[in-house]
Structure formats: structure tokens, C-alpha cells
Structure 1
Amino acid sequence: MVIRSQALGVGSWENSKLFNLAAQSATQNSKLSYSSLFSPLSSPFSLRLVLLGLTSGLLLTLTGMPSQAQSVSVSQGYTLLNRGWVKDAIASFQSALRQNPQSLEAKLGLAIAYQRAGQDANAWQAYRQVLAQDSKNLTALSAIGVLGGYRAEWQAQGIEALTTLLTLAPDRTSDREQRAVLYGYQGRFAEALADYQRLLQKPTPKVLLGAAQAYTYSGSYQDGIVLFERYRATGKALPNDAVIAYATALRETGKSEQAIALLEPLLKQLKAPDRTAIEVRAALAEAYQANQQSEQARLILQPLRNQPEAALPLARALSQIGRQSSDTALYAEAVEQYRQVLRQTANPSPGLVTEAADVFSEYPPARSDAASLYEQLLRQQSKPSLIVKRVAVAYQLGQITSGELRQQLQAALQPLPGDATERQAIALALVRLDPPDSVLLPQYQELLQSNVDAPFLYFRVAQIWVQQGKFEQARQALQTYSATAMGSRDRAPQLLLAEIERRESKLDASAQRYEALIATNPPAPVLSNALLGLADVRQAQGRSEDALRVYDDVLAKNPGNLRTQLGRASVAYRAERITQAEAEAVLTTWLQSPAAAETPPELFSLVGALPADPRREALYTSLLAVNSENLSIQRRALQVLVARDPAAARSQVEQLVTRNPGDLNAYFVQGDLAQTLGDLALASNAYSAILQQQPNNVDAIAALAGVRFQQQRYVEAKMLYTRVLALRPDDLDTRRILGELSLAQDHPGIALQQFKDLRQAQMAKETPTLPQSNRATDRKIEKIQVDLLRRRGFQPSWERY
């Protein structure tokens, strides 16, 4: 940062030699950047101090000291400074201070001389001695602010000095700009952006550039791009560090190709492996990954692995790539890199601590460390965004209940703060909550209405609408998200749309959407969810074999993929293609593998498909800590609890429904528990409550039909099952139940025909290996035929002898 002469009331440079010496000194002693200070920023602001060449007369005017009252040594010191003889000036000022240790003029002169000599530590101490004697000395306050950018441990005091100065002289724009830079180094973006917003009223190109980087690294990527474009419109070229920030903003707004186009030629220009080259290489790796070029991303990072000075950029890139590719090993490596950086940093900035905590929070083995770091940050400054993160981690660790999670989130976010930067931070924190909390829907909507730069928040709102069964509102939210630059490239909306279609019993449309998504060879997390979703749809259609075939195709390409094995086992077990023991063996293999730290959707699916088992109670608890809304895991956990303490299970479900009156999942859990307890009236009420909100919810219709069957209200049960078949014509399980219902009503002839029709439908989808369910149908047909013979007085041939 160039501190202009006007900032200290001096009109111009008076000595070109002095100017050259000052510039040279500044170049040698101003090498810090956001990254070198271990802030959360991916690239440095350029910080260059051009020291002022002051004549002795001007300095006397500045400090307000009458020249006639100065000792010979002090006057001589300023004269020597004016001539550029800095070393001699230092000796002169030191001599003056030996004669008069309380001479403010000598102390200030010595500080200036040290600064010009590039002796930053001595200058820092000397300026602090000036302030100890005159706390409002503007020259010393400004210099402390400048020097605060040289070392991480000086930043906070630099901010404090500049805050004092700006209280005394609020129009000192260069000092306000320097404070904004220091706030950025510290990751205190709310304060940094407050300064920049004031400076942007009449911005210089330098202010535009600094503000663009601050907005980018605060997460306001779109605002950052706008400011970068304004800077480029001035005709000035972007400095290398600013190119990194600009590429980051482009990448985060879905323009990864443009980011790559900026970074690739820059990396070729930077031959020496200095910090800028390291930052560019890491940023390019992240851009490659965002552009689904995973192999290039990993290759470009390789040279950084053995460079100690590359620890932080490497950690950032590894976490980004590991997150997007679902590569646990890479993410674990990123976590270890962050730990190394924290250990090696004496006083890590709040920005670095926040960044590390955010990464730790996404890795189960490191979540306790994340909680500790959030606590450390909250002791320094209690911000709602930090509270959201800390509470979420506490819930994942099992330290608080779901009710306490909700209460603490509501307390932190009601009302939302008016500060735009903190709202932005809150929005980004809420994006991390998956699944989102439906009770916070008003806060989500208010944040979006205040134009926060967090497009994925629309997706979270869509998830809430789906939870509540309001599918049209969910589609509208997804449409809004897909219209953004980020959303236009994201495949997640297709997953949610397919789920909506499944819930609406549009099974063919849902299956087609999943298949189209799988055919695009999406990233691992999307492929995983698409496979599971397609499996659910095919099972609802009675076509489990089709789902298994898709899994087999994926496993043929990568047979060692444990996640795919989990997913296939879940589908195969539910379709009765493998036994419970075989399914549990696959689960055990997963839990004993290094991948057990992950909680992928396949794990939820298999654990939820297997019968409730007290030995898996701890697993249920850990899975619900990750996703408290998962219906199948909730059921299994409650089934274990009800066997041990029925009253506690009933109370827990009542609380769940009370807290979530609009959440259909809560009623499903209540209905399932009521059936387990034999309370068919409560089960009936629960499923009826769902149908009041969604008359065509086929799962609720089927569940209520089952209750009516248990209540022996066969006519109503038949009507409900007939409705299920109307919504799901290919649902073979419902056909089977209708056959059983006819038997219960003592209509064996009708039942026989229903099971024969079922067998025909099964044969149409039959594979070379006769599935167990098909064999069961054959046995059922045989039994009905035998019973009919007996009714008519005939003895089967095999029973005659």
C-alpha cells in the first residue's frame, strides 16, 4: 500500500535520492500477504510502503515543535534524514535521547529513521514509545497501522492504532484503506467491508481492487466480480495476487473455465516457486476440480506436497478437491495440513481459525477440534454465524439434542442482524446445514430477500418445501436456484426434482430423470444419490432387478468401491436377493474400513433396510446426528428404544411431532411406532394427518391401508390398496397384499386369480435366477389350490398314501 505524502500533510517529495532509498527499503520489508499471514484469504493484497521524504522544517511543522527549542542532535538528525543519510540520523537521534530521554521529537525522529532503514522491529518499538508519551500522535498512529501489515502479530495493534487515528481524523482515506486491509488479513470482513463501503463512495482504482478481493474472500463472489470488472475498466492490469482472487470469484460463481483461462498462462509465466506461484498452482487445482477435471487437479498439486511454505494453499486445495470428489483420503490429508499450519503459527488470525474449523467440521474424526476452535472464536467475538456453526457441530457430536439445536439456532437468528456482511456469513453457515431445519424457513427467506450472495440457499429452501410436501413451492425455489450461474451447472436440482416426482408417484418420470443423470457420469456424490434414488423407484415399480443391474455396471468399472457395494447390498436385501447375514457382512466390511468416518447415503439406506438391532444403537445415534430427518434410521432407533422403554419411545415421538407439526416424516415415525406398540388408533391418526396435507401421498395411503388390514376393516383396506395401485400400477407388493386381503375376507378364488396375475407380472421381469419373492408366490398359489381342493372334499394326491 502506498502511503501518500498528503496523508501526513506534506505536499511533495523533496529528494529523489531519499525517495529511491525509501522505496528500496519498503520493497525489502513489505512482503506479507493474506496468505503469508495465514488468513482465510487465498491470495495477498499488495502491501508496499513508500516512506515519506520529509525536510527537517516540514517535520518540525508536522510534530509541532519549535526548531529553536531542539537540541543540536535532534536538528542534526532531521537534517541527516533529509539528506538520505539514515544510519547517521539514527545515531544522532540516539544521542539526543541519551541527553533527554523524554524528548518526543527525538523519539519520533528515531522511529522514522528506523522505518526508513528497514529496521521494522526497531521502528515498531520506537513508534510505540512515541504513543506511550503522546497517544494521539497522528504520525505514529499511521505508521503503526502501516507496520501492522508487515507481521501477523502486529495486525491487531495496527488496527487499534488506525481506529484511534480515524476517530481523531475520520477523513484520512489512506489510513482507512490500510485499516480495511488489516481487517481483511484478520478475516474480520464485516469491519473491512464497512471501511470499503465508505471508500467506494469515491474510489480510486486501488480501492476498487482491495474491495474486490475483500468481497470475494468474504464469500460475496458476485459483488467481488462486479468490483473486479470496475477495476479492469480503468485500463489497469490485474496484479498476480488479484488474478488469484478474481479466479476464485469466477470459480465460485460457476465460471470455472474462465478461471482456468486466467490461471494457466499465469502459472507458466511464474517460473520460480515463490509464494505467488504456489498460490496460483493451488487455485488452478481448485478450478480444475470445479470443472470436473479431477485428474488434472491432482497432478497440478503434486509439486506442492514437499514444500513446507505451501502448507496452507495445499490444505485449501486438498479440502476443496476432497469435498467435491468425496475422496476421504484427500480430505483427511487437508485436515492434517491445517493442523500443521495451526501448530506452526504463533498467533493465528481469526480468519485462519475459522477456516480450519469449517474444514474440521466436515470431517467426523476432527469435529471435536472444530468445536474447540469455534469456542475459541466465540470467546473473542460472539457472532450469530459462528453460533450457527458451533451449535451444528455440537449436535453432530451428540452434545445437544435436536430440540436444543433448534432452540439455540432460533435464539441466535431471531432477529437476524442488520449488518449485510454478517448476514452473508450466516447464509453461508446455514448452507452447511444438511438437511435444513424447516423451523428456520422464515430466516432462510429473509436472508434471500436481503440479497445475500448464497445461491445454494434456494436449494435448501426447496428441501424444506419437499419435507413439508409443498412440491410446487419446491419447484419454484429450484427454478430460481437453477437460474443462477452456480445453479445452472449444479446437478443437485435434478436429484430433488426426481425425488419430488417419486413422492408424487410419477415413477416413470422419476426413473427417467435419474437414468439421464447417471448417464452424464456425474461427480461421485451425485452418482451415489442418483443410484439410490433409481433403486427406490425401481423397487416401487417392482423392478429391483433393473436397479441391481445399474449397480453391477458401476461395480464392473470399479469393483473395490465400498460405497457402491453398500448401495447394492441395500437394494439386494430389500429385494430379497441376498440374506440378512450377507447384507450385514457388507455393512461390517464398511464399518471396519478406513472409510467408516464417512456417512454416505448408501450407509443410511442399508442400515435402515436391516431390522432394528440393539447392537447397532450407537450407529443409529451417530447417523441421526448427521441427519436427524432420516425416516428409516429414526424408525430403527425407536424400535430399539421401544423394546427397552416403550414410554420413553412414545414420549420422544410425541415431542418430535410437536416440534415439527408440518413435517410429514414426523407423522410417519409416529405411525410406525404406534403400529409397533399395537396402538392402531394412534397409527391411523398419524397417517390420516399426512393425507390431510397430501391426499395422494402413496406411502401414507399404503401405511393406512396396512393399519386398516390390522384392524380387520377389510373393505376400507381394499379401497386404500386399490388407490395405491392406481398411483403405482407396477407395485407388485401391493398386488400381493391385495391377494392376502382377499384370503382374509375368505375369497380364495379371487385370491388365487390375483396371485396368478402377480406371478405373470413377476415372470415378465424374471431373471435367470428365480428370486425368492417369485418362489414365495409359487408356494402361495399351490397352498391356495390345496385349500380349495380340501374345501371341496378332495385329498391332494401326495397325501393319499
Structure 2
Amino acid sequence: MTKLIGLGLAGLAISTPMVYTIPAVHAQTVPTAVRQAFSLLSQGRVQDAIAAFEAAVRRYPDSLDAKLGLAIAHRRQGNLQQAWNAYQQVLAQDPTNELALKSVGLFGTYRSEWQVQGIEALTTLLNLNPNDIEARGLRAQLYGFQQRFAEALADYQIVLQANPSPNILLGAAETFTNSGNPERGLELFNRYLATGGQITGYPALAYARALQETGNPAAAVQILEGQLRSPQLLSDPQLAIFTRTALSQAYLANQQPTEALNVLTPLQGNPNATLPLARALNEIRNQTGNQALTQQVANLYRQALDQTPNPEPKLLREIADVFAGLPNQQQTALNLYRQLLSLQPNDRTLLVKQVALERELGLISEAELKARLLSALQPLPADPNERQLIAQALAGIEPPGPELLPIYTSLIQSGVNVPFLNFRIAQILLENDNLAGARQALAAYAATPAGAEDLAPQLLAAEIERREGNLEASAQRYQALIASNPAERDILNAAIRGLANVRLQQNRPTEALAVFDQLIARNPQDTTLQLARANLAYQADLISESQAQGVLNYWLQTQPATNAPPELFTLVGSLPPSPEREALYNRLLQLDPTNLPVQIRSIQLIAQRSPEQARVRVAQLVARDPTNIRNYFLQGQIGQAIDDLELAEQAYQLILSAQPANQEALSALAGVRFQQRRLDEARNLYSQALALDPNDQGIRQAMVGLKRVQDYQLEALADLEAMQVEQLQQGGTLDPELSNQMQQIQEDFLQRRGFQPPWERF
């Protein structure tokens, strides 16, 4: 006798019901009690069938049919845990039982703690039957739930070529969207809708997200508002919570921040909504710069942690990642990262985040950060999922230096889906004066949907224009950013700071300071801005050295020694070398031995006592990192500072042997030749440097000085006049230094002709 017993799996992500057939070859040998239990199940008498199967299992403990029947009956009754346990008993007796393997895989979609075993069961099944499209689609879905997107997408690439069922299309659409490819996700959602299906429940959340992230937030709002009114939410409170948080994000994307907050109000005080509410409010805080939400976000995440007696590593990681970006919460984040690393010592993404935060808190130096990252990430892992996580971790921190560029590039070339990594590459290349490469990497990021919506590339583009000498274009880009009043406070602050620097470079110091004062007014709590303002005013000769020193002293007296922001390094490096600051140089260089301005001041001070000791110190720095081009610039600048022109010459020539078109090195070597009175060689080198950037004011003024020494006074005068005209055309004020030089040349002409200038007659 043969019987077909359906599993009753309506509404699940499979296209046809799974069935169990008692094989005809042994149907007559199946115990009568087992056959009677199946008969009860086929009549819909599920409770009676469960009792009958349990009795049969006790009586016939080796009966695989009895164990399968018991599992099926529990599943029909909705007893998921009992059904799960029964299928495990089947697999313990027959590890290759296809029905049990597929059922365990299906059960993985019910509870997160079953997902890994579900994947393992489906992998075993696919090893037995690689052409089982339903099993592969189910495994892809579980991989997606686990955020193992590389494996999920690999399975879906196979499944989608085989005329998949509508349910598989729907699962693939969700996974592609959640993996960061909303364009492909939306395409698959549309294919699913074309089959006549409707998108409701949890898939509707992903569908709305795909619409939102492909530039149609209004449609996302419409879908989620409709779902919020659905009676389905009355029977699924968790879906109601997620619908509200998703709608909040859709409102935010649709420029409705008030509605984004209001729709979350019913979730306040709901213990089941603590974590989703924390996530939604944190996103609003990030996108709108609403710092009033900071404490509430921190409190909610702490509540979520308190509500979970044994939190999973995934939750600990999420809270650590959020706290790493919250004021006054970084130490808690660091403690969580360390706790996670004690549980997962081989997790390299955690190590990246830990050392980056240790550097931010001043617990390790820049050199140690670089060394630990290089040690952890060489070689990169072969696993694509791990590479993806490492890329995401690196994208979240400021790149520590050009030494890591090969790692960033390798990650991009391996196909990781982290568009912002291109922005980090652009930052590294810009820092290394590779402006063309920086533009290319920036364009690669801007070409992505995320990059097209991001304002950060505008900041980097403005900096590239500034370094190229196109000052007014840079200023206009900064002004456009400021005028748009972006919600992200960091973007606005950076634009104001950038505009101030451009105005200073345009010899408009009063305007530069006025712009910077706007920044201080917007951020009165940011004490580092006073350091930056003092440096700006000192460089513009608007305050004296003693006044700048006064600002520095106040900072040092009121801040802990571990607080060493970049602005502190900049001001210390701008001030001339002083024995009073020697202890400060040493402390700062312990934190960041690669900081060139502070190294120069420290070695200049040593050179005043012992030029030979200064040479040894420079040689040690170069030997420590002979591939770092900045060390050779340091060597050259120190050589000039201690009047060792041969040392400086060797350093700049080494740079040019590796980078013949390095404008900074060409200009620096020209300065050495000028000091050596090898004037024709100096003029040739300055001309090469100027050809790379005809608008570089520093090189042009150096050329004027050289022409005056060579007695090309008319050429020098014409150059000075041209620079004055350009300054006026760009809206700047006349540089007094240019006027002084022009007056000196004119006086020289008069004196040569035997005339005394009228201003010298009395």
C-alpha cells in the first residue's frame, strides 16, 4: 500500500508541496500502527495522529517512517520545536534523507537560531542533488538572512537562470536589495509583480527600501503607509514595529523629517520595539544632524543590551559600531570590541575597528595603527564574505596612509560591494599628491547611487581644485555646499573650513577669518576650532607669535594630555621651533611620528644644539620607513634648515628618481639650487614645476626672486603685475608683499639712473 502524505506547508517559500511517500517496495512491511497513524493524519485528525506516531516510535524505535510521520504531524499542528526535534531524529538515523534535509532547511526560515543548521542541511541535499532548484533557492534565502550575501547571490545567480518560481523571485529580490543592490532588487520585484503576485508583509519592507534607494522615496512612503493600515499588522505586532521604522526611513528620504519622528511615537516605551526604535532614531540623528537624539539613542541601545541576558555577538557588534560614533560613548564601544575579540580572536574586521578606535582615543600612535592594520590584513582572506566585511570596516575609518593603498585597491578589484571605499582611495591618492588618480577614484564613487546622493565628494573635489591652483572654482564649490545648508553638520563644517583656507590662499585673510568665525559660532562647544583659528590668524599675520602661543598654552592647560586633535599638530607645526615646546614635540611625536611639520620643528631644535645629531635623527626616520616619500621631504627640509644643502639635494633627487613629475620635489630642489647659486639650474627646475601647475603662487613668487637675482628686473616686474591683476580679478585684495617687491624693483631702476625717489628726499 502506498500513501502520499502532504506536509501542509502553505505560504512557504517553495513552489510545490513537499510530500512523503512510503515506498511501494516496503509498504507491506511498515508496521500497522504506523500506517494507522498516517491514516489519521490524512483525515485531518492531527492530534490523534501525533499520539499514534509517538506510540509507534516508542514501539518501533528504528522505524524511519514513524519518525518522519511524527515530524510531519507536529509541523501540521504548528508545534515547530517538536517538529524540528523529530526531523533531527530522522537525520540522526538517515543523514541523507532528502525530505528531512529540505524540511530542516525550510525550518531555518522560521527561527534565526535554526538558520545555520538549515544551511548545512540544504548543502548536504545539494551535494546529493545539485539540480534541486527549490533547495538552492531556499539556501540562498537563508544565506541572505545570515547576511552572507556573497554566497546568497551565488546561489541566486544559478536559480534565476532556471525559470524560477514567483516565490524564489521574491526571495531573490529581497536578498539583492538587502545586500546593497537595490537596482537589481527592484528589477526582480517587478518581475515578481508581473506574475500577478502581491508584495505584502516583510517583503514589502524590502520592496519599499528598493524604491527608496533608487530615487523614489514617495512610492516607498505610499506602500508602507498602506501596509500600516493593513489588518495583518494586528496579528503580527513585530511586523507593525518594522513597518513603522521602515516608514520613518522612507519619510526621511522623502524630506519629511517631522513625519519620520512622529511615526515612531507609538513605539516609545514598547519593550519589543527597543532595538528597532534605537536603529531608526540613530539613522534620523545621522542624516539630520539632530544631536538632541544622541542620548536617547544611547539609552535605547543600553536598554536593548540589558533586555538580552546573553546577547549574540551580532548585537554586541552593532551596539559597538553605533557607540563608536556617539560622543562620550567611544570607551564603551572599545570595551565591546575587546569583548568580541576575546570571543572571536580571528575576526579581522573587529581588529580593524578596535585599533581605529584606539587611535581615535589617543591610546596608540598613528604608526602603531598602520603597523597593526598591515599585519592583520596581509594577506587578505580568500572568503568573499570576509573581504566584504573588511572593506566595510576600512570604509568607516580615515585611511592611515598610502601604505594601505594596495589593500584598498585589492578589495575593490576583488568585487566587494562597498562604493565608499573608492572615496577612501581618493583620499589616499590626494594625500600623496596624485590629483589625477584622486579624481578618477572620486568619479568611480560618484557614479554609484550612494555616491550620487553623497555630498562628501564635493568636498574632496573642491580640495583637488584648490591644490590644482583653481582657487575660485574651489571657493565656488564650497560656497554652493554652504548655501545648500546640508543636514549633515560635518559636511557643512568642512565646507566652511575649506572656504576659509581658500580665502587665505587668495590673500584675503580678513575674509578667511570672518568665514572661520561663522564656523565657531555654529559650533561653540568645539574647542579644537580655537586652535584652528589661531593657526589661521597666525599664518595670515593677523596675530603675533605670542598670541598664538597664548591660545596653545590655554589648550594645554585645560585639556588632558591624551587629547591631541589634528588642529593641535597643525598649530605646533606652524609656530617656529622653541626650546619651551621641546617636551610637547616629543609627546606629539610619540602619538604620531609621521607628522612632518612637528618632526621638522623638533629636528630644527636639535640642530641648534647639534647639527650632526639632527642628521642622525633624520637618517633614522628614513631607515625606519624607506618607502615613505614624506620622510625624504623631511630629510630635504631639515637639510636646508641646518644648511646641509648636500643632504637636501640627495633627498629631493631620490624623490624625483621615483616620481619625475613630483611638483613639490621639483620646486624644493630648485630652492636648493638657488641657495647653491646654481641659478640656471634653479630656473629650469622652477619652470618644470610651474609647467605642472601654472597657477602655483609660491613657485611664481620664487621665480620672481630668481629673476631679480639674475637681473631680469623687467620680467620680474611683469610677473608681479600679472599676479596682482589675477588677485583683483579673483576678488582678492592686493598682497602687500607683491607691492613691496614691485616698489623695490622700481627704486632700483631709479637709483641706477642717478635719481633719488621723492619719498627718500626728506
Question: TM tier, shorter chain?
Answer: 0.7 to 0.9
2:471 maps to amino acid: L
Q: Offset at 1:647?
A: 7.7
Give the equivalent residue in structure 2 for 1:317: 280
Give the equivalent residue in structure 1 for 2:539: 574
Structure 1 pair 582/237, CA: closer, same or farther in 2 (3 Å)? farther
1:510 aligns with 2:474: yes
2:583 to 610, 614, 622: 614
> Map of 1:366-515 to 2, 5 A cutoff?
366=332, 368-369=334-335, 371-372=337-338, 375=341, 398=364, 401=368, 404-405=371-372, 407-408=374-375, 411-413=378-380, 417=382, 424-425=388-389, 427-435=391-399, 437-439=401-403, 441=405, 444=408, 448=412, 452-515=416-479
Give the Cα–Cα distance (whole angstroms) in 2 for the partners of residues 391 and 559 of structure 1: 30
1:682 maps to amino acid: L
Say whether the 8 Å CA contact 1:323–1:331 is kept in structure 2: no
1:279 aligns with 2:242: yes
SS at match of 1:659: coil
Structure 1 pair 332/177, CA: closer, same or farther in 2 (3 Å)? farther
**TM-score, L = length of structure 2:** 0.74
Give the equivalent residue in structure 1 for 2:621: 653
What whole-Å deviation, never above 9, does each CA across 1:222-259 have from its counterpart, x for those lacking one?
A: 43333333333434332242232234345556665665
Which structure carries more relative contact order (alpha carbon 8 Å, separation 6+)?
1
Give the Cα–Cα distance (whole angstroms) in 1 for the partners of residues 489 and 687 of structure 2: 39
Q: Offset at 1:548?
A: 1.4
1:466 maps to amino acid: L
Q: Offset at 1:546?
A: 0.9
What whole-Å deviation, never above 9, does each CA across 1:593-635 have from its counterpart, x for those lacking one?
A: 9xx9996x7676556556766347666666x5xxx98655666
Say whether the 8 Å CA contact 2:148–2:385 is kept in structure 1: no
Give the equivalent residue in structure 2 for 1:546: 511
Give the Cα–Cα distance (whole angstroms) in 1 for the partners of residues 563 and 331 of structure 2: 7
Give the equivalent residue in structure 2 for 1:681: 646
> Map of 1:208-227 to 2, 5 A cutoff?
208-227=169-188
Say whether the 8 Å CA contact 1:80–1:89 is kept in structure 2: yes
What whole-Å deviation, never above 9, does each CA across 1:302-335 have from its counterpart, x for those lacking one?
A: 5545333223323433444444556777567656
Say whether the 8 Å CA contact 2:508–2:732 is kept in structure 1: yes
Give the Cα–Cα distance (whole angstroms) in 2 for the partners of residues 638 and 339 of structure 1: 48
Structure 1 pair 156/580, CA: closer, same or farther in 2 (3 Å)? same
Over aligned residue pairs, what C-alpha RMSD do you find? 5.5
Q: Offset at 1:201?
A: 1.9
1:94 aligns with 2:54: yes
What whole-Å deviation, never above 9, does each CA across 1:170-214 have from its counterpart, x for those lacking one?
A: 333333333222222222223322322222222222212212222
Give the Cα–Cα distance (whole angstroms) in 1 for the partners of residues 554 and 286 of structure 2: 25
1:532 to 467, 472, 497: 497
Select between 560-569 and 229-238 the one with higher mean Cα deviation: 560-569
Structure 1 pair 374/207, CA: closer, same or farther in 2 (3 Å)? farther
Give the equivalent residue in structure 1 for 2:757: none
> Map of 1:282-361 to 2, 5 A cutoff?
282-287=245-250, 289=252, 297-298=260-261, 300-301=263-264, 303-324=266-287, 334=297, 337-338=300-301, 341=304, 344-345=307-308, 352=315, 355-356=318-319, 358-359=321-322
Say whether the 8 Å CA contact 1:256–1:287 is kept in structure 2: yes
2:193 to 224, 232, 235: 232
Say whether the 8 Å CA contact 1:543–1:765 is kept in structure 2: yes
Say whether the 8 Å CA contact 1:714–1:741 is kept in structure 2: no
Say whether the 8 Å CA contact 1:469–1:693 is kept in structure 2: no
Say whether the 8 Å CA contact 1:494–1:513 is kept in structure 2: yes
Give the Cα–Cα distance (whole angstroms) in 2 for the partners of residues 322 and 598 of structure 1: 27
Task: Give the % identical residues.
Answer: 42
What whole-Å deviation, never above 9, does each CA across 1:379-433 have from its counterpart, x for those lacking one?
A: 5xx68767766776677663873553464366223xx84x766665555444335
Structure 1 pair 291/459, CA: closer, same or farther in 2 (3 Å)? farther
1:61 to 7, 23, 28: 23
Give the equivalent residue in structure 1 for 2:119: 159
Q: Offset at 1:80?
A: 1.8
Give the Cα–Cα distance (whole angstroms) in 2 for the partners of residues 169 and 510 of structure 1: 61
Q: Offset at 1:125?
A: 2.2
How many residues are matched? 716
1:134 to 94, 119, 123: 94
Give the Cα–Cα distance (whole angstroms) in 1 for the partners of residues 573 and 226 of structure 2: 51
Q: Offset at 1:453?
A: 3.8
SS at match of 1:213: helix
1:529 maps to amino acid: A
- The gaps in structure 1 that reach 5 residues or longer are 1-8, 24-45, 789-801
Structure 1 pair 359/518, CA: closer, same or farther in 2 (3 Å)? same
Give the Cα–Cα distance (whole angstroms) in 2 for the partners of residues 469 and 393 of structure 1: 27
SS at match of 2:81: helix
Give the equivalent residue in structure 2 for 1:171: 131
Give the equivalent residue in structure 2 for 1:797: none
Say whether the 8 Å CA contact 2:508–2:733 is kept in structure 1: no
Give the Cα–Cα distance (whole angstroms) in 1 for the partners of residues 303 and 642 of structure 2: 53
Give the Cα–Cα distance (whole angstroms) in 1 for the partners of residues 454 and 208 of structure 2: 19
Q: Offset at 1:377?
A: 7.7
Structure 1 pair 731/141, CA: closer, same or farther in 2 (3 Å)? closer
Select between 472-481 and 545-554 the one with higher mean Cα deviation: 472-481
Give the equivalent residue in structure 2 for 1:36: none
Q: Offset at 1:505?
A: 2.5
Structure 1 pair 172/248, CA: closer, same or farther in 2 (3 Å)? same
Select between 321-330 and 121-130 the one with higher mean Cα deviation: 321-330
Structure 1 pair 534/617, CA: closer, same or farther in 2 (3 Å)? farther
Select between 541-550 and 733-742 the one with higher mean Cα deviation: 733-742
SS at match of 1:237: coil
Give the Cα–Cα distance (whole angstroms) in 2 for the partners of residues 631 and 329 of structure 1: 39
Say whether the 8 Å CA contact 1:186–1:351 is kept in structure 2: no
1:372 maps to amino acid: R
> Map of 1:584-595 to 2, 5 A cutoff?
584=552, 587=555, 591=559
Say whether the 8 Å CA contact 1:136–1:165 is kept in structure 2: yes
Say whether the 8 Å CA contact 2:690–2:699 is kept in structure 1: no
1:112 maps to amino acid: I
Q: Offset at 1:691?
A: 6.7
Give the Cα–Cα distance (whole angstroms) in 2 for the partners of residues 309 and 639 of structure 1: 63
Say whether the 8 Å CA contact 1:254–1:486 is kept in structure 2: no
2:138 maps to amino acid: Q
1:584 maps to amino acid: L
Give the Cα–Cα distance (whole angstroms) in 2 for the partners of residues 634 and 256 of structure 1: 51
Give the Cα–Cα distance (whole angstroms) in 2 for the partners of residues 469 and 51 of structure 1: 61
1:411 maps to amino acid: Q
Say whether the 8 Å CA contact 2:150–2:385 is kept in structure 1: yes
What whole-Å deviation, never above 9, does each CA across 1:79-136 have from its counterpart, x for those lacking one?
A: 2212222222222233334434444433333232222222222222222223223333
What whole-Å deviation, never above 9, does each CA across 1:437-477 have from its counterpart, x for those lacking one?
A: 54555565565566654433443343344334333343344
Give the Cα–Cα distance (whole angstroms) in 2 for the partners of residues 296 and 585 of structure 1: 48
Structure 1 pair 210/618, CA: closer, same or farther in 2 (3 Å)? farther
- The gaps in structure 2 that reach 5 residues or longer are 752-762
SS at match of 1:163: helix
Select between 123-132 and 566-575 the one with higher mean Cα deviation: 566-575
Say whether the 8 Å CA contact 1:427–1:452 is kept in structure 2: yes
SS at match of 1:167: helix
Give the Cα–Cα distance (whole angstroms) in 2 for the partners of residues 634 and 291 of structure 1: 49
Q: Offset at 1:654?
A: 0.7
Structure 1 pair 268/52, CA: closer, same or farther in 2 (3 Å)? closer
Say whether the 8 Å CA contact 1:709–1:741 is kept in structure 2: no
Q: Offset at 1:70?
A: 0.8
Q: Offset at 1:496?
A: 2.3
Give the equivalent residue in structure 1 for 2:755: none
